[in-house]
Amino acid sequence: MLTATPKPSAAALPELKANGRDLRIDACRGIALWCIFLDHVPNNIGSWLTPRNYGFSDAAELFMFVSGVTCALAYGKVWRCEGWTRVIRRTLRRSWDIYVAFLLLTLACALLVHIAGVERLADESNTRILLDQPGATLAHAAILQYRPVNTDVLPIFVLLHLLFAPLLWLLLRLPNVTLGASLALYTLVHIFGWSLPAWPNGHWAFNPLAWQLLVVLGAWVIIEGERVRPWLTSRMVLVPAVLYLVFSLAIVLSWRIKPLEALIPKGLTNLAYPMDKSNLDPLRLLHFLALAVVAVWFVPPNRQALTTAVMRGAILCGKHSLPIFCLGVLLTLVSLLALLDISEGLAMHITLSVGGVLTMIVAATLLNLIKIKPRPQPTAVPPMGVRDTVGWRPLEAFRRGPRELAGAAGQNVIIDCRFGERQSHGVLRVADELVALKADVIAASPATATMVANNATARFYSRSIAVDTTVRTLPKDQSCSERSSHIRHVVASSSASP
């Protein structure tokens, strides 16, 4: 069943794709996971394919920013369709999943190092203390104070999802104030050196108090995207962004290519080195923002590119980001073991790089093929726009009614919410979309939308449902036939003729 009903007034979240996922986001996240793996293998020739060797920032910034984008889109959709209670449940559940994954990954790293029996591997992976003092180390890992090497991102995401419901609530109501508070915290971290407790050396590879800025920024861009885009597409912003990227490229290449070092003034080199990755150095942050501006200008929104074999692999890895990230950490340890015990030659680096990425793709493909049939649940597609004329309570009551009627008959109701823009053509567009989807029932509000829906669906069975006044559902003896593999019935009984 589909509705053309307004939402409660709040900032509009952007359009999602057909099944609620934007494949471009999954692709970016998958590529970031590949780059993180390549960068974590010591002295890896494959890391020259990643952004780390061409600027101040690397894939970590992209991964954190995209995570903020994903959370805003996913939890924003849940809020619109199921309310805040469901958002809180989803965030807590996801936080728990990541927490369990972190603890299991910690044990897996220790087990792998113990089986390998290589002393240097224990030191490189920060698991020696876990093998020597398992009780105390696991206790600190349980409160996120101890982390093996390359696993620091997971505790950040545990905290991120735990707190994202109140963060989203603030962003929807005071987006600029919330971003300002996040930026203020980032600034105070650099002034006073604030950090969360860590054990045993008090060091975080990714200080959550600093890196939270990228997550908040990603969510803020989704909510305030239409206001931000004119700035991103301005030539006044593009020119300094390009100049900064060129400056960053010259400095970083001078660190790795000796002949270039003499061409760079010593003062500039000292300004950028050492780079404080733990606290998200301002130069790294500026470099990522400059990359984002250039990407908006020069990377076309070409959906064709997503159909290539490489991008399909990236999409699959991004779709299963948590298990693939954990796999990447273990593959890094295996790669380090191979470099220590077998060879550190160029051929070994290429083999490990290609083999690691292919292993991640194969694992993601297998995860995607595993079909666990879920219990039938109502699903929803997020709104296409906003029309602030109906309160939240009638809309929620409208959703509840069809679900209860269909649930009693063992049916799975799909409620697809579509919203018109503030112009008349927006309502017409929504009506065309609903007809194209062959909905069994269309509930439209206000009166203008109802009239448009009736006109657009003249060849189909339709019934007006006034959700802005009295909420009611179809009688049990008036339901429509199934039109696709999904059941969109309001109730479950024999089909009725128009």
DSSP 335-394: HHHHHHHT--SHHHHHHHHHHHHHHHHHHHHHHHH----PPP--B-PPPSS--TTS-HHH
Q: Which residues pair with 379 in a beta bridge?
A: 414
Asked if 209 and 194 count as a contact pair (C-beta separation under 8 A), the reply is: yes
Confidence class for position 231, pLDDT limits 50, 70, 90 = confident
For residues 486 and 103, the model is more confident at 103
Confidence class for position 272, pLDDT limits 50, 70, 90 = confident
pLDDT score at 153:
95
Average pLDDT over residues 310-324: 95
Lowest mean pLDDT among 10-14, 73-77, 155-159, 484-488: 484-488
Q: Which of 369, 323, 339, 333 is nearest to 45 (CA)?
A: 339
Q: Residue 160 and residue 92: Cα distance in Å, rounded?
A: 10
pLDDT score at 270:
76
pLDDT tens digits along 395-437: 555 555 555 555 444 455 556 666 554 455 556 666 666 666 6
The overall average pLDDT reported for the chain is 79
Residue 274: asked if its preceding bond is cis (omega within 30°), the reply is yes
Dihedral of alpha carbons 488, 490, 493, 498, sign: negative
6 φψ region: left (φ > 0), alpha (ψ -120 to 50), beta (else): beta
Where do the domains of the chain lie? 1-16+381-498, 19-369
Asked if 382 and 15 count as a contact pair (C-beta separation under 8 A), the reply is: yes
Asked if 186 and 280 count as a contact pair (C-beta separation under 8 A), the reply is: yes
Confidence class for position 476, pLDDT limits 50, 70, 90 = very low
pLDDT score at 23:
85
Dihedral of alpha carbons 462, 19, 373, 164, sign: negative
Res. 90: pLDDT tops 80: yes
Helices 23-40, 309-319: axis angle to 10 degrees equals 90
Res. 471: pLDDT tops 50: no
Asked if 2 and 488 count as a contact pair (C-beta separation under 8 A), the reply is: yes
Lowest mean pLDDT among 22-31, 329-338, 452-461: 452-461
pLDDT score at 267:
76
* % of the chain beyond a pLDDT of 90: 54
DSSP run (H or E) holding 444: strand 442-444
Average pLDDT over residues 347-356: 96
Average pLDDT over residues 442-470: 49
Angle, CA of 297, 303 and 304, to the nearest 5°: 115
Residues 6 or more apart whose CB falls under 8 angstroms from that of 27 comprise 306, 311, 314, 315, 318
Res. 136: pLDDT tops 50: yes
Structure-token pair, residue 275: 């780079």
Lowest mean pLDDT among 197-201, 298-302, 375-379, 389-393: 389-393
pLDDT score at 249:
93
pLDDT score at 452:
54
* % of the chain beyond a pLDDT of 70: 70
Q: Which of 415, 418, 420, 419 is nearest to 440 (CA)?
A: 415
For residues 431 and 10, the model is more confident at 431
